[in-house]
Amino acid sequence: MFFSLLEMLLLAGLAGTTGWFLGGALGAFLGAFFALFIYSSTLQWKLDRLEQWLSAPGLRQDPPWQGVWREIAERVQRLLRQQERLAAVHQKQLQDFLQAIQASPNGVILLDEQARIEWCNDTAAAHLGLDAKRDHLQHIVHLVRDPVFARYFAQDNHASEAVIAGRASSALNLQKLSVQLHAYGEGRSLLLTRDITAVSQADAMRRDFVANVSHEIRTPLTVLSGFVETLQSIPLGADETQHYLQLMSAQSDRMQSLVVDLLMLSQLEGSQLPSTQEKVSLAALMLQVTTEGQAFSEWMANKGEGPVHQLEFASVPDLYLLGARSELLSAVSNLVSNAIRYTPLGERIQIHWSSTPEGLMFIVKDSGPGIAAEHLPRLAERFYRVDRSRSRETGGTGLGLAITKHVMQRHGGELRIESVVGQGSTFKLVFPQSRVVVDLG
């Protein structure tokens, strides 16, 4: 720039000197004036070209001049390229950050100073029934029309969370959401949503479990307590005493069965998955199941003063299952004992194994009263009973199918139940092919 100023002064001086010789002082003035005018016009023309070049998108073409103007243009280019690279880095970081939030299992909503939606991820949109584009800059309270949420949003302190119903709620499945508001920036807010349906259901199941266990234990304890008090306070004959002792023994057996099943459930839930190294013979397994099933049927017949069940055990294939023998025995025997327990005396029960494309299947088909369709999805729940009075009469704990389901899940299999009212029920255990082997010696 110094040389450009020097160049202008030299040009003006040369033109003024030339004008002095040609026209005196006036000539010197006019010469210097015209020289400065020409120089200024040239400078303006170059500035216009620089402005046009700066206005071009990208500034990728080389400057169309030389000298100091080219140096100025190249410096501008370098600065702009540095800014572009820095902006690209920041844009990439922003995109990565938004993608991370988008992948979050929790909902995230950014609200401006007026509580309008600036951005939300797909999880939040699904939780609250929002559309990221349609609801942009819409007030959050106008979109989430839940009285609990409205009261929570209006309060000054948001240190705790609020629980509201999710948009995915239905008559059969109530979704619960935890929402919490966090302030950030200058007046902005961050709204987080979290699906706590599974947590709420687990809490409810724990409460129900404790209540059911307490109820199941309290009933025989009450009976036992009453009999003990009777024996202590009323003189009884030998026959009456024996009768009461038999009733007390039955209640004691019922509590013992309940404790055994509870311990089995606890063991299944807290232990490692069964090994694939232990081979369990189907023939040996079914020999024990058959013996226990026939003994249970005879006990039911003596108790009900009727004929024993028609138990039809089909021939057992020469196969082996990979898994825990105690667990497999429990799952198989539970299905057989359940069929005996709920099938009228003298009726037919078919038990057999079958190889299918899905894997190896254990099937128990009874000719009992059948189960209504609305009960089938819940049969494997702990303590769930279609007929509570019938279960107590037959001594069931309400945990057999829950244990069976857990065992099948641990062995990669599945419990299936089919039933038609008035036509009986079919229970199936489906084992994957990976758990079935043929012993080649």
The answer to whether residues 10 and 39 belong to one domain is yes
In sequence order, what DSSP letters do the residues of 121-132 get, joined into one string?
-HHHHHHHT--T
Asked if the model's pLDDT at residue 116 lies above 90, the reply is yes
The answer to whether residues 436 and 289 belong to one domain is yes
The answer to whether residues 435 and 291 belong to one domain is yes
**CATH number of the domain to which 136 belongs:** 3.30.450.20
| Mean pLDDT score of the chain | 82
pTM exceeding the 0.75 threshold for the entire prediction: no
The answer to whether residues 49 and 135 belong to one domain is no
Asked if the model's pLDDT at residue 187 lies above 50, the reply is yes
- Average pLDDT for residues 428-440, to the nearest whole number? 87
Q: Convert the pLDDT of each residue in 60-76 to its tens digit.
A: 566 665 666 667 777 77
Q: Give CA separation, 195 vs 168, 191, 336, in Å.
A: 10, 14, 40
**CATH number of the domain to which 259 belongs:** 1.10.287.130
Asked if the model's pLDDT at residue 129 lies above 80, the reply is yes
**pLDDT recorded at residue 3:** 44
The answer to whether residues 322 and 412 belong to one domain is yes
Looking at the structure of the chain, the number of domains it has is 4
The answer to whether residues 324 and 426 belong to one domain is yes
| Structure tokens, 391 | 């279960």
Using a 10 angstrom Cβ sphere, with 0-12 exposed, 13-18 middle and 19 or more buried, the burial of residue 229 is: exposed
Q: Convert the pLDDT of each residue in 215-265 to its tens digit.
A: 778 877 888 888 788 888 888 788 888 887 888 887 887 788 788 888 888
Question: Pick the residue with more confidence: 207 or 184?
Answer: 184
In this prediction, residue 328 has a pLDDT band, given cuts at 50, 70 and 90, of very high
Q: Convert the pLDDT of each residue in 42-58 to its tens digit.
A: 777 777 776 676 666 65
**pLDDT recorded at residue 395:** 55
The residue among 271, 252, 218, 216 whose CA lies nearest residue 382 is 216
The answer to whether residues 80 and 225 belong to one domain is no
The answer to whether residues 301 and 343 belong to one domain is yes
Angle at 272 between CA 267 and CA 274, to 5 degrees: 95
- Average pLDDT for residues 73-91, to the nearest whole number? 81
The answer to whether residues 157 and 15 belong to one domain is no
- Quote the domain boundaries for residue 281: 274-441
The answer to whether residues 172 and 303 belong to one domain is no
Least confident of 25-34, 83-92, 365-374, 385-394: 385-394
Last residue of a domain, one of 148, 168, 195: 195
- Average pLDDT for residues 189-197, to the nearest whole number? 92
